Structure 1
């Protein structure tokens, strides 16, 4: 995590700091800071900042299995690994910005693999228009029974809720903090960095601490600190229907393929496709039409309860929602052509519609 702007050249650098306890590396763009520690035999303490691009490209090409020797020489870092040597010019470490350190204990721990899924879902509907900065982040609500992660760009909305009894919570600190401030906004860029750091197959606890307008994530030897977005997130829960008149359950892959094909023939910038839900025939027709490309329709035999419906949706938004569903079957929930359509997962064993994750997409009103 280094700055992409050149207003402060040192922000393009990584801080190398050798202490008796080992070697620590730090980087920041003034909004997000990253620190990690590496086991090393330190003969002499010292620190310097080195351009991230150069050290990254150089280290990626070093021979595997060789020890690396680092030596500070004035404003340069001498590196030796096997038969490879390099001298990289750096900048004085005294000018490197201080990265905040947490003062309190973590509020809760979340398994890294579960957090990666939650982040992936939340980032799907984050807004990238900075005119409303609060929508560029992910809203976290610290509730008594659940931890909510939500995001919206006004066209679609995701909500993921984690039961507190299923994660490791510091109950006393959590309750004290939640009474003061239970509604926070984390920048999407921060969560993107967290997701990148999480390995795809190793589950480890991520310790999360919140204090003084900042949030800290600890994953093994890595600490990420980020500023929180200062603002009020929209009261999104009032647009989420409490009940749905029509429920459609079917194979995710079949519905996904039908929407993909319909999107090819969808017209206009909104990529309009139509879902015609026939409750009596237990069929759903996914169709689209364009004067330029032609037309397409796919008929699916799904389990349908409730009245027939017809709704027009943005194919891109609907498809991105389908992609976040991790179960083999999904549920479509609808009330009318003018109200939001919801996607939810299905319990593979019981067939129950799960409500811990909801993806909402707004209809296109013709």
Structure 2
């Protein structure tokens, strides 16, 4: 194997696939990046067995071949090299890769590529496509809600459903829920109901960045995996087995209180309150008050800390229904408000002991439910 490539190309490729390298594994090869010649270029792959990422970069192939190199060593080394052409030459007998750039020459011990797990590829066949900006927004709106502990594996993932031409993402962790939808053209006959690890979707969002392309999605016939491809990058991940909880019962059909306010002002008030809520498990109180005259309705956001002090913000609002006082985890509120995406947000509830339902005003494609906290008055 003998390949030449630009410093910027291999740097970008390593930054993409490096996120899939196993941090701890009994298999040394999972700490490596697979380099292989492919279609007159260089293919980089990494996997932790739950998620795999492959990236194709431009390169001049002098001799075909493949091997795996320690990811950290290669990434650290490339980061020190001049921004010039990098020449890679493998001694297949000793499994040693010579990495040369300008006046620098280095040799890295490799592990043979046949020890690296085989990653499935989407090839040219895919099940459906979705616009990058739509997919990124949907991921951003739900991925932070997924649980981070493994006590209930299904809650560490995002339920992805396609039915009647509608794509639905849902995530929950037992304390909150987020659901978003988007229409998919040409998918009326497609039915999908799977759970994708939230970490994999977060990585996908990072990879696609500000691309203005489409993402192709493939479900291999043997099942158990999903493959996403955008331009020269593929991400494959194992699906989570199990049944996602039925969350429809958490979405009330009616409300006793609905208050509309500026998303920016509500977010600002929550950020300020969070500073003072750290000592009280991040509990903040929302007091929805009715004014005597039109335009005088208010939402008061407050937090108290015995050692730090107290905070209170008053936000102009529009109230429909009964005044109410309730408490929520302010971190949950701020995370939702960051992704609402509209100038105004509506907060609905059926009382102080009922969940709070947050909706973007003017859009019906997103809803979030936050369970209340019980604090001493």
Q: TM-score, normalised by structure 1?
A: 0.89
- Structure 1 residues 188-223: Cα deviation after superposition (integer angstroms, max 9, x where no partner): 121122122122x33111111123111000010111
In structure 2, distance between residues paired with 1:170 and 1:250: 36
- Structure 1 residues 95-138: Cα deviation after superposition (integer angstroms, max 9, x where no partner): 11111234783222222232222212212211012110100111
User: Structure 1 residue 29 and structure 2 residue 48: aligned?
Assistant: yes
* Structure-2 residue corresponding to 1:70: 88
Across the aligned residues of Structure 1 and Structure 2, the Cα RMSD in angstroms comes to 2.0
User: Structure 1 residue 360 and structure 2 residue 351: aligned?
Assistant: no
In structure 1, distance between residues paired with 2:145 and 2:115: 38
User: Structure 1 residue 190 and structure 2 residue 205: aligned?
Assistant: no
Tell whether the 8 Å contact from 1:102 to 1:209 is kept in structure 2 after alignment.
Answer: yes
In structure 1, the gaps of 5 or more residues are: 347-351
- Structure 1 residues 312-354: Cα deviation after superposition (integer angstroms, max 9, x where no partner): 11122112221222223222222211221122223xxxxx3x1
Q: 2:243 aligns with which of 213, 216, 232?
A: 232
Shift in CA distance, 72/294, structure 1 to aligned 2, threshold 3 Å: closer
Aligned residue pairs total 348
The CA deviation at 1:247 is 2.3
Tell whether the 8 Å contact from 2:85 to 2:101 is kept in structure 1 after alignment.
Answer: yes
* Structure-2 residue corresponding to 1:247: 258
Deviates more, 1:150-159 or 1:238-247: 238-247
- Structure 1 residues 34-77: Cα deviation after superposition (integer angstroms, max 9, x where no partner): 1122232222211111011111112223322x222221113111
Tell me the secondary structure at the aligned position of residue 57 of structure 1. Answer: helix
User: Structure 1 residue 164 and structure 2 residue 184: aligned?
Assistant: yes
Tell me the secondary structure at the aligned position of residue 219 of structure 2. Answer: strand
Tell me the secondary structure at the aligned position of residue 241 of structure 1. Answer: coil
In structure 2, distance between residues paired with 1:36 and 1:290: 49
Tell me the secondary structure at the aligned position of residue 256 of structure 1. Answer: helix
Tell me the secondary structure at the aligned position of residue 124 of structure 1. Answer: helix
Tell whether the 8 Å contact from 1:157 to 1:360 is kept in structure 2 after alignment.
Answer: yes
The CA deviation at 1:232 is 0.7
* Structure-2 residue corresponding to 1:349: none
* Structure-1 residue corresponding to 2:14: none
The CA deviation at 1:31 is 1.3
- Structure 1 residues 288-335: Cα deviation after superposition (integer angstroms, max 9, x where no partner): 234444433222221222222221111221122212222232222222
Shift in CA distance, 215/315, structure 1 to aligned 2, threshold 3 Å: same
In structure 2, distance between residues paired with 1:294 and 1:79: 58
In structure 2, the gaps of 5 or more residues are: 1-19
Deviates more, 1:30-39 or 1:80-89: 80-89
The CA deviation at 1:268 is 5.0
